[in-house]
Amino acid sequence: MQSIYDFTLEELKEKLKPSFRAKQVYNWLYKKYASSFEEMKNLPKDLIEELKQNYTIDVMQIIKKEKSIDGSIKYLFRLHDGVTVEAVLLLMKKKKIAEDGTIERSEKYTVCISSQVGCKVGCSFCLTAKGGFVRNLTVGEYIAQIVNIKRDNEIPENKSLNIVYMGMGEPLDNYNNFVKAVKIFSELDGLAISRRRQTVSTSGISTKIEKLGKEDLGIQLAISLHAVDDELRSELIPMNKAYNIKTIIDAVRKFPIDTRKKVMFEYLVIKDKNDDIKSADNLVKLLNGINAKVNLIYFNPYPGTTYQRPESKDMVKFQEYLLSKGLLCTIRESKGLDISAACGQLKEKEANGST
């Protein structure tokens, strides 16, 4: 049965008559986080029956979650066919309350969502890759990750958040469903998550980056670079043999970016692999002329990996070198280190029966 989350508002207007009913359904789904059609009290009974017969809301269930001391929550969802995917709610800034009890600043959230069950890319450092590729997520499964997390945390419908497509799988390998999900997320009558607040992270399918650029969706682009030479990058990301660094950089240069924003280059730092100053210098040269920001990411070890977490002092040296050359660089604060932080780790624990 098809998910009700699969439809844009305009598509739902074509399905439901009179068409204003579609907006009512959208309000229940995305403003009130309804989990059943019976909750939609202002709809006539015959329409509720029609919806129940043709569509489903319940496309995934939360089967496990782990909460970190930093406020991050990692979710494991079971889908209708029994497979599982992860998503993470990241508390970026905590609520700030003034002395008189008024709220000076509300919480700021980012949600990291998955695109596939498993992954085709096969990155050597990624736990998700170990299970191989199973299938793409549907449009509705993209949407349901956000709705379930907002419902579970009672996040108000008017509370904006950021979406990063950085979970399990390669978004551009699920191109059509990903693009449609971006559009549904941004529907003003729905979740109303601005496209500027949505960032797609890709391991570098250069032809799809160019195609996405032509869509001109207004979303932000992040490149999982992780290395500055093709030899190391092909070790870390085998797909680099098909889409090497030059083709990726060429595609990025053509990508339309909001002038207020920068292209994010994610650089996973692995001890004794890519954490030296020579690599930093080559990174500066590689990104010359691009309005870029580099996000240095600590490698999160998981059982069975041969890669190691870098030393903090080496991360700082790397960052300081980039900054000294005029390249904006941040070190991503590692969140959820006390829980299953690595992508795919909670899924693996559940599969192995660990607690």
Q: What is the pLDDT of residue 344?
A: 53
- Is residue 39 part of the annotated active site? The answer reads no
Q: Is 123 marked within a binding site?
A: yes
221 Rama sector, left if φ>0, alpha if ψ -120 to 50, beta otherwise: beta
**How do residues 261-295 score in pLDDT, each as one tens digit?**
899 999 999 999 999 999 999 999 999 999 999 99
Q: What is the mean pLDDT of residues 8-28?
A: 96
Of the chain, the percentage scoring pLDDT greater than 70 comes to 94
Residues 252 and 223: beta-carbon distance below 8 Å: yes
Q: Rounded to the nearest 5°, which phi and psi values hold at 209? A: -65, -45
119 annotated binding-site participant: yes
- pLDDT at 257 (0 to 100): 83
pLDDT band at 194 (very low <50, low <70, confident <90, very high): very high
Q: Does the pLDDT value for residue 87 go beyond 90? A: yes
169 is in an annotated binding site: yes
The number of beta carbons lying within 10 Å of the beta carbon of residue 80 is 15
Q: Between the CA atoms of 11, 147, 150 and 43, what dihedral angle is there, to the nearest 10 degrees?
A: 60
Q: What is the mean pLDDT of residues 105-115?
A: 92
201 is in an annotated binding site: yes
Query: Which structure tokens are listed for 258?
Result: 């909001």
300 is in an annotated binding site: yes
pLDDT at 335: 61
Q: Helices 277-286 and 312-324 meet at what angle, rounded to 10? A: 40
CB of 25 closer than 8 Å to CB of 13? no
Short-list 60, 78, 68, CA closest to 351: 78
170 is in an annotated binding site: yes
Active-site residue identified among 86, 141, 266, 348? 86
Number of residues assigned to the chain: 355
Q: Is residue 80 a known part of a binding site?
A: no
Mean pLDDT of the 216-226 span? 95
User: What's the whole-number mean pLDDT along residues 232-260?
Assistant: 93
Question: What are the φ/ψ torsions at residue 40 (nearest 5 degrees)?
Answer: -80, 75
Distance of alpha carbon 241 from the chain centroid = 25
Catalytic residue among 66, 141, 343, 348: 343
Phi, psi of 198, rounded to the nearest 5 degrees? -115, 130
pLDDT one-digit tens code per residue, 19-56: 999 999 999 999 999 999 999 999 999 999 999 999 99
Give the three-state DSSP class for 329: strand
Question: 315 with 276: CB under 8 angstroms?
Answer: no
User: Could you confirm whether 343 is annotated as catalytic?
Assistant: yes
pLDDT score recorded for residue 346: 58
48 — alpha (psi -120 to 50), left (phi > 0) or beta?
A: alpha
- pTM (2 d.p.): 0.90
**Residue 353: what pLDDT?**
61
Predicted pLDDT at 56: 97
Over pLDDT 90: what percentage of the chain? Answer: 80
Domains annotated on the chain, with CATH? 1-57 (1.10.150.530), 59-351 (3.20.20.70)
